[in-house]
């Protein structure tokens, strides 16, 4: 009989906590079972193993990121929307590094319907943001890829301590967003 309070959502919540605090590599069945006060085999009553847990964590990360981006850009347009999107992305990635890292596992999620739907929502918000720059079709997708690459690269370097010089990291981020804005205004 499954233990009260242990269900897939509780397992993923603990996985998110562990991943955010110690890195995604620290998420293991043994670690999660210990945190939940059960034995590792008991988790199989709720999930299909560590790959399933990481998949669920990735879906959660994508859903949370999509919601954060959507809230940030609501009622905004143009440069203001881009800036809000960029800061929401950075904030989510830094506040939830484990869920964010799980969400970046694109190949592992390529055939997962829940992950695809959540990822599509992230893309939808980003595409809506670049439409204010009069970009659509392939141009919008290329713009979204450029934005994602720039933001992901920045947050990965920031999270890894890659900005050790004394200058303000916030100012550097502002300049990155300004550069993206200017590039989008300049067309393809």
pLDDT (tens, 9 = 90+) of the chain, 188 residues, equals 445 578 999 999 999 999 999 999 999 999 999 999 999 888 988 998 999 999 999 999 999 999 999 999 999 999 999 999 999 999 999 999 999 999 987 666 778 888 889 989 999 999 999 999 999 899 999 999 999 999 999 999 999 889 988 899 999 999 999 999 999 998 54
Q: Is residue 17 part of a domain?
A: no
**CATH number of the domain that residue 84 is part of:** 1.10.357.10
The reply to whether 179 falls in a domain is: yes
CA dihedral for 156, 160, 164, 167, sign (positive or negative):
positive
The rounded distance, in Å, linking the Cα atoms of 59 and 52 is 10
**15 domain-assigned:** no
14 domain residue, yes or no: no
Res 188: pLDDT = 47
Q: How many domains is the chain partitioned into structurally?
A: 1
CA trace torsion 67, 109, 136, 64 (10° rounding):
10
- Vertex 138, ends 136 and 143: CA angle to 5°? 75
pLDDT of residue 99: 93
- Dihedral of CA 135/139/144/146: which sign? negative
Closest CA to 90 of 68, 71, 57: 68
Residue 112, in any domain of the structure: yes
Q: Which domain holds residue 125?
A: 58-185
Residue 37, phi-psi category: left (phi > 0), alpha (psi -120 to 50), beta (remainder): left
pTM, entire model: 0.89
Using CA atoms, how far apart are residues 166 and 183, in angstroms rounded to an integer?
27
d(CA 145, CA 151): 10
Q: At a CB cut-off of 8 Å and minimum separation 6, what does 69 contact?
A: 85, 88, 89, 92, 122, 125, 126
Please check whether residue 177 lies inside any domain of the structure. yes
Stated length of the chain: 188
Q: What pLDDT sits at residue 1?
A: 41
Residue 64 lies in a domain: yes
In a domain, 169, yes or no: yes
Return d(Cα 23, Cα 21) in angstroms, integer.
6
- pLDDT for 112: 82
Determine the pLDDT at residue 106. Answer: 64
The DSSP call for residue 132 is T
């Amino acid at each position: 009989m499954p233990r009260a309070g242990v269900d897939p959502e509780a397992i993923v919540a603990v996985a998110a906590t562990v991943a955010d605090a110690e890195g995604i590599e620290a998420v293991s069945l043994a670690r999660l079972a210990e945190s939940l006060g059960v034995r590792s085999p008991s988790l199989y009553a709720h999930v299909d193993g560590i790959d399933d847990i990481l998949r669920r964590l990735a879906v959660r990360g994508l859903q949370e990121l999509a919601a954060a981006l959507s809230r940030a850009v609501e009622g905004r347009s143009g440069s203001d929307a881009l800036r809000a999107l960029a800061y929401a992305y950075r904030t989510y990635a830094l506040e939830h590094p484990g869920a964010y890292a799980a969400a970046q596992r694109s190949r592992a999620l390529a055939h997962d319907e829940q992950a695809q739907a959540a990822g599509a929502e992230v893309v939808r918000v980003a595409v809506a943001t670049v439409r204010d720059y009069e970009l659509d079709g392939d141009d919008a997708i290329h713009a979204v890829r450029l934005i994602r690459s720039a933001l992901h690269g920045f947050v990965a370097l920031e999270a890894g301590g890659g900005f050790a010089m004394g200058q303000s990291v916030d100012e550097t981020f502002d300049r990155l967003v300004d550069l993206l804005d200017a590039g989008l205004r300049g067309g393809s």
